[in-house]
Chain A
Amino acid sequence: MEKYRANLLLCAGTGCVASGTQEVKEALKEELKKRDLEDEIKLVLTGCNGFCAEGPVMLVYPEEIFYQKLTVEDIPKLVEEHFLKGRPYEKLMFREPEKRAAIPLMNDIPFFKYQVLRVLRNKGMIDPDSLDEYIARDGYMAAAKALTGMTSEEIIKTIKDSGLRGRGGAGFPTGLKWEFASKSQADQKYMLCNGDEGDPGAFMDRSVMEADPHSVIEGMVIGAKAIGATKGVIYVRAEYPLAVQRLQKAIEDCREAGLLGENILDSGFSFDVEIYLGAGAFVCGEETALMRSIEGKRGMPRPRPPFPAHKGLWDKPSVLNNVETLAQIAPTILNGSEWYRTLGTEKSPGTKVFALTGDIRNVGLVEVPMGTPLKRIIYDIGGGIKKKKKKFKSVQMGGPSGGCIPESLLDIPVTYEDIVKTGAIMGSGGMVVMDEDTCMVSTSKFFLEFTADESCGKCTPCRVGTRVMLDMLTDITEGKGKEGDIETLEDLSRDIIATSLCGLGQTAPNPVLSTIRYFREEYESHIRDHWCKTGICSHLCSFHISEELCKGCQACLKACPQQAIIGEKKKAHRIIQELCIQCRSCYDTCKFGSIKIGPPGKKDLPAPVSKAEDK
């Protein structure tokens, strides 16, 4: 946005559109052109601002001046006054209405304010089961343009110039992938969609398939034309029944309307799509394994080359794209590559969808321009840490292939390049936020458990390596860690990364490496002091009640499943260590932060014998 002297945010909510946004937009465009201001002033259509009665409304940045009730006739004067003479055009300036409902506006709420929707453009707006409603929001207009008015080369050029990078994780340039496949000669090619979404904590693709299935199909139709494919498959995991059901309905509607099948839109181009249900193995999200799985074989990766663009499904040239990648194709074809680049950064243009989960207040699905600082996503949009008194500790990005980013790095912008520098990866968009009560050793163990379990077993480094690492991590969390373990883990990681066959093994050690990098002292404390300071590793901690802080409210006493806490009302309580099983119930219950976590076996108070014998 910095390039422009001013940004005009013209409201395109239904209310304003009904009172003439489109006409005003055309008039503004013309006037800016006439006055040679096109390169200095940018016109943007926004969502509803909540002032429909005063519409069409427009907000001018950076001055934040609000104009209301715009008409085509007013435009020349407004442009002259405000943008040539530099003084706001009073006549149309917004005046705060006498009484406004006490409900916040989109702009008052950071969760909505900082989002810009492209992939999720129809989110919550259309009935996913209605083809007509999709069409009403420009649906299949891009397919029509691509099929009837563009050559394969033109489509590929548009996508290449847009700089769109695959959203499945690796960020490979989509246009380039299409170009490779288009140049392969074959009697049959395939256009495939990856809806496997195996990362724990990720749900972006599910939401897109559920909320806007046609956007994915339209992207596939355009991709198919670009590479010359006549058949397509959407690979979705069977655990996503609603997504499957809505995709199925969308495909059937398209066939009936002639948007899939023979001679689409009378263009002479034919293409059809079917759904293949995956059984939910993580490795089946990897492209070569996914193709084998569709062939009915066991989903296992194979070495590349040959790349799928030359030999893919059934050994025919194939392109596999992620759901979110495909959902962006239609608007890019419709509006052009320049438009695509108006958001995001040079190397990571466009927007990215993130699934925010974990210890964060606004669990949900958000879309932001690339380059948005992590801090803004977590604190402004996400609303920060859910539990009031807890502090942020780390955000996990990229799932089992990614890493944990500490607080000190939250100023970095989310782009493919910047995230990789932290040791995490952009991945598909899962963002798991963790507060100070998270043990980072256990977190990395969790991910290793996942990858060791999901390893297909074909190559040794991944099959055996992840298991050995997992055993070491388990030992560390049980107090059986040894000096040198950290170095061995680092060493093993490097070997597994270098020698594994596919992306699963090549990235599996990332969660371990990144937690060692930023939270090494936690590993050391586990290994040397046998002390898990967050009290998550139950063998490596003990719980104590601070006499000064305890108010004697008896809440912990009631929560304790072991009846290990004793104490009278309004007097400091204490924990009988022999009975305590380190379940954390008291810690989670206490409102005054009076439960402290010490090293294991620490006995600050002798257990009163009588009470223990009662049991």
Chain B
Amino acid sequence: MAKLTLDDLKKIKEKQKATFALREGGNRAKITVHMGTCGIAAGARDIMAALMDEIARAKVEDVITTTSGCAGLCAREPMVTVEILNAPPVKYGDLTDEKIRDIFREHILGGKPVEKYALVIGSETTY
């Protein structure tokens, strides 16, 4: 990467905002696996592996997975946040290999949040 200037920063910001918003990135869904020490200790790596496996099997290309830090509710790890285009983010907790596969099929492919595993809809206030 070449040395950044202020203008470059602004450009990266705009470009990345688009990927965040899913819409312009051409993606339909984004799954964030929370991988702080707490998440990893509770089995987040297995959740990620199961997701990769499901994505490969379903041969979908408009679903992205990404990792992130602790979501704050360490007691309910492993956790993931699922964002589908034009819908609010949904956080799931206490996940297992089986549950994440259900979520993948019903929510990510089917578009319907899995109520029994979901913790909350929305995101926190940053201020």
Contact = CB atoms under 8 A, between A and B. Distances in A.
Nearest to A240: B37
A340 B115 CA distance: 38
A138 B73 CA distance: 25
Interface in B74-127: 74-76, 81, 83, 86-90, 113, 115, 118-127
A203 B124 CA distance: 20
B89 A210 contact: no
Contacts of A14: 20-22, 83, 89, 123
A17 B21 contact: yes
Nearest to B70: A207
A103 B121 contact: yes
A93 interface: no
| A: interface residue count bin | 35 or more
Interface string A355-399: 000000111111000000000000000000000000000000000
Contact of B122 (A48, A120, A258): A48
A521 to B, nearest CB: 33
A9 B127 CA distance: 11
Interface string A115-129: 111101111111111
B60 interface: no
Contact of B124 (A117, A242, A342): A117
Contacts of A123: 68-72, 124
B9 A117 contact: no
A116 B127 CA distance: 6
A51 B72 contact: no
A128 B22 contact: no
Contacts of A279: none
A518 B106 CA distance: 53
A132 B12 contact: yes
A259 B21 CA distance: 26
A124 B34 contact: yes
Contacts of A259: 4
Nearest to B75: A363
Interface string A488-505: 000000000000000000
Contacts of A106: 120-124
Interface in B1-53: 1-6, 9, 12-13, 15-17, 19-23, 32, 34, 36-37, 40
B120 A210 contact: no
A265 B36 contact: no
A15 B126 contact: no
A316 B21 CA distance: 47
Contacts of B67: 127-129
Contacts of A48: 88-89, 121-123
A555 interface: no
B74 A266 contact: no
Given A104-B120, A210-B37, A257-B1, A15 B87 contact: yes
B121 to A, nearest CB: 4
B75 A362 contact: yes
Interface in A138-164: 138, 140-141, 144, 148
23 contacts: A14-B20, A14-B21, A14-B22, A17-B21, A18-B21, A47-B123, A48-B89, A101-B118, A111-B73, A124-B69, A125-B32, A127-B67, A128-B68, A133-B20, A135-B16, A136-B20, A210-B37, A240-B37, A257-B3, A258-B2, A265-B4, A363-B74, A366-B72
Given A112-B122, A125-B68, 6 more contacts: A15-B87, A47-B123, A106-B123, A136-B20, A265-B6, A364-B72
Interface of B: 1-6, 9, 12-13, 15-17, 19-23, 32, 34, 36-37, 40, 66-76, 81, 83, 86-90, 113, 115, 118-127
